[in-house]
């Protein structure tokens, strides 16, 4: 069976009567330069965003060797189901080296919201195997907006990774200042178990001419633990990003 066939079989399952959803990213206030998350999906039928970041940090790991990246996304939403395409463009090599296609369904239960979904990840111009993930997200409304995202890589990665986040928005003169913290954890993900990093960030969101603008500065803190030690230790650092998106 081809990969495309597998994708549409899963899509049909998720959209069916028993179906759910799946993939978080910047819903926990997704870190700078990390694929957007499910709970942060736009309510509009069609949505777009583009992020320019000083580097591509995923779960605290540097996927762009400290080089800047451009990350566009488009999504469509119908009856609680969202289909999204996300890409990572390496600005140094001028090439697209990651494409993620995700399908998710969201549900609200009062102050608690959740999502289930599926993501297909492909890596053009990299010698990495394509892979598949299923995921679940939970978020609780409140002053600190706690959120939890769990992704299970069922193919190449053969493991899980977790993101636990807290965030708080402060209205400020027609804009909003966002403060966020995210703790990343791996469980046998590509053979690695441990806590890669803790991310803290500050961002500002404002609207002008029908477009949302969001500059963000994130600090990644790391310490040796589990498999993340010696030559596998994660380096601390900063990520500066700027995102434009549909309202």
Q: CA 152 from chain center: how many Å?
A: 14
**Whole-number Å distance between alpha carbons of 83 and 15:** 11
For the whole model, what pTM was predicted?
0.82
Provide mean pLDDT across the span 201-207.
97
* Residues, the chain: 247
Res 140: pLDDT: 98
Provide mean pLDDT across the span 109-118.
96
Res 37: pLDDT: 52
Q: Is the pLDDT of residue 25 over 50?
A: no
What confidence tier does 5 reach under pLDDT thresholds 50, 70, 90? very low
Res 36: pLDDT: 54
Q: Is the pLDDT of residue 57 over 90?
A: yes
What confidence tier does 127 reach under pLDDT thresholds 50, 70, 90? very high
> DSSP string of the chain?
--HHHHHHHHHHHHHSTT------SSSS---TTSPPPGGG--SSSEEEEEEEESS-EETTEESSTT--EEEEEEEEEETTEEEEEEEEEETTTTEEEEEEEEEEEEEEETTEEEEEEEEEEE-TTSS---EEEEEEEEEE-SSS--EEEEEEE-SSS-EEEEEEEEEEEEEETTEEEEEEEEEEEEEEETTEEE---EEEEEEEEEEETTEEEEEEEEEEE---BTTBSGGGPPPPEEEEEEEEE--
CATH number for the region 3-245 comes to 2.40.160.40
Res 33: pLDDT: 63
Res 7: pLDDT: 39
Q: Out of 26-35, 37-46, 184-193, give the one with best mean pLDDT.
A: 184-193
């Amino acid at each position: 069976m081809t990969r495309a066939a597998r994708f549409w079989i899963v899509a049909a399952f998720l959209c069916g009567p028993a179906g759910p959803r799946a993939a978080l990213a910047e819903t926990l206030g997704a870190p700078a330069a990390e694929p957007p998350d499910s709970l942060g999906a736009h309510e509009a039928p069609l949505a777009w965003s583009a992020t320019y970041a000083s580097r591509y940090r995923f779960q605290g790991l540097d996927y762009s060797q400290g080089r800047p990246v451009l990350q566009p996304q488009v999504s469509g939403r119908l009856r609680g189901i969202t289909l999204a395409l996300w890409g990572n463009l390496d600005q140094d090599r001028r090439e697209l080296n990651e494409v993620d296609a995700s399908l998710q369904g969201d549900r609200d239960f009062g102050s608690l919201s959740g999502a289930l979904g599926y993501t297909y990840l492909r890596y053009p111009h990299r010698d990495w195997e394509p892979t598949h993930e299923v995921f679940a997200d939970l978020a609780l409304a409140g002053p600190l907006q706690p959120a939890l995202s769990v992704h299970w890589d069922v193919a190449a990665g053969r493991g899980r990774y977790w993101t636990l986040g807290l965030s708080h928005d402060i209205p400020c003169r027609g804009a909003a200042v966002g403060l966020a913290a995210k703790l990343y954890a791996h469980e046998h993900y590509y053979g690695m178990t441990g806590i890669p990093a803790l991310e803290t960030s500050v961002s500002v969101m404002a609207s002008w001419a029908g477009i949302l603008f969001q500059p963000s500065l994130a600090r990644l803190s790391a310490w040796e633990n589990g498999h993340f030690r010696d030559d596998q230790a994660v380096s601390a650092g900063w990520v500066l990003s700027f995102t434009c998106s549909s309202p």
